[in-house]
Structure 1
């Protein structure tokens, strides 16, 4: 008999792909959600808030594996520490965490928070697996859509992304969650590297539009980190198959 898998962030972009894959694998799934939801199709929903430390004990009770996908613009380190404390008390046998490439190299609060969450997982005393992934195509779409509204397209010099399809990340995470704890596994990135302005131009072309481009320079430590490609893994990463162009062909009609 297999134990329940708890998924935090199970209603988000990534969780929306992960949960059906776990169900297709025949696993019972529990989702921790900030909003109350009706249980359906073999999925149990538990209401709670990781950052506030609410409802976590109920969520982890009886779960053999925790797949930690929940995240936000800030506070991921604190939320993960709250989860780890509850998971340790509940005897969880495998904690799987999704992080971001560059968590240990980009001097921004979001990345520092992700690194803090990674450390909380690694120091938890629980068997663990952490996967760092590149930015999702979905995020690139949001950013490109906002930039495309500007009368002139800013082109930050040296800012490159290697966007990956969320479905490919989900498939890898399910594989890891159903396997043995593996520590920090190879990063997962997309098949192509793009300048940020190139992503936006692709978005504009898909809509039959264009914009003038204005080169800009990113200042300070953050600019130097991005120009050095610290947010990329060009060697040693697992690489997805779906490109930005493939994604746009599906999403932009």
Structure 2
């Protein structure tokens, strides 16, 4: 039986990847800062050697916008090398090489570390999860007027679909950079905001605001989108119907 370690295995994505792998009869170890018996802070790396011992594949889902991802990746790679791990699978984001956002730069740097690791590797880039877009819109709806980034669209995808693809890749051989995984539709932010307001039963006027900076320019240019890989099935409205009780 293949033994697979999922870092960040209690997070939004990692939990679903773990469930999917276990349903496919893989032996799965869950690693997070508080998950026993593999409670590891990847930025420190203490205890990681025991977690990867005897592991065939590592699915690296752990990530934090607060920093430390590059150091965490170095620890994972070093431990994987020493343990003879066959395959390292990494989840990244569409546009990390096109949108000059700090977090995106970090994800791209981790990709490069993995590519140069000497391990068998697979990298999958996806568009933003529905959950993240919902969280953003909930925050924007707190004031009396929803201020939206002018000229920006998004292509949200269902996290369960990403988990299914990652589990599939983890069960296979190292494949390098695989085709991106995008949500089913590219949607302007005002459309997404109206969908959220309808679903939540709220009313807010919308105001498009032009922002400054190269990252905003990258988003306006659609660097985070992959319309040619719109392979997701669940629409934003369908996602909202399952999450917000007012939907219907």
Tell me the CA shift for residue 238 of structure 1: 5.5
Q: Tell me the distance in 1 between the aligned counterparts of 2:131 and 2:48.
A: 28
Is structure 2 residue 151 aligned with structure 1 residue 158? yes
Q: Tell me the distance in 1 between the aligned counterparts of 2:154 and 2:35.
A: 36
Contact map agreement 2:57 2:86 (CA 8 A) in 1 = yes
Q: Tell me the distance in 1 between the aligned counterparts of 2:93 and 2:230.
A: 14
Which piece of structure 1 moves more, 74-83 or 172-181? 74-83
Contact map agreement 1:145 1:200 (CA 8 A) in 2 = no
Using structure 2 for the length normalisation, give the TM-score. Answer: 0.95
Question: Which ranges in structure 1 are unaligned for 5 or more consecutive residues?
Answer: 38-44
Q: Tell me the distance in 2 between the aligned counterparts of 1:169 and 1:153.
A: 29
Is structure 2 residue 88 aligned with structure 1 residue 92? no
Which piece of structure 1 moves more, 5-14 or 155-164? 155-164
Q: 1:234 aligns with which of 227, 236, 239?
A: 227
Contact map agreement 1:140 1:163 (CA 8 A) in 2 = yes
Indicate the SS of the match to 1:62: coil
Q: Tell me the distance in 2 between the aligned counterparts of 1:29 and 1:227.
A: 40
For residues 120-199 of structure 1, the aligned pairs below 5 Å read 120-199=113-192
Question: Which ranges in structure 2 are unaligned for 5 or more consecutive residues?
Answer: none
Indicate the SS of the match to 1:239: coil
Tell me the CA shift for residue 197 of structure 1: 3.2
Residues 130-152 of structure 1: CA distance to partner in whole angstroms, max 9, x if unpaired?
Answer: 00011101111111111111111
The corresponding residue for 2:31 is 32
Indicate the SS of the match to 1:188: coil
Tell me the CA shift for residue 127 of structure 1: 0.5
Contact map agreement 2:3 2:54 (CA 8 A) in 1 = yes
For residues 6-45 of structure 1, the aligned pairs below 5 Å read 6-37=5-36, 45=37
Q: Tell me the distance in 2 between the aligned counterparts of 1:98 and 1:134.
A: 11
Check 1:239–1:119 CA distance in 2 against 1; reply closer, same or farther (3 A cut): same
Using structure 1 for the length normalisation, give the TM-score. Answer: 0.93
Q: CA RMSD in A?
A: 1.2
Q: Count the aligned residue pairs.
A: 244
Q: Tell me the distance in 1 between the aligned counterparts of 2:202 and 2:186.
A: 22
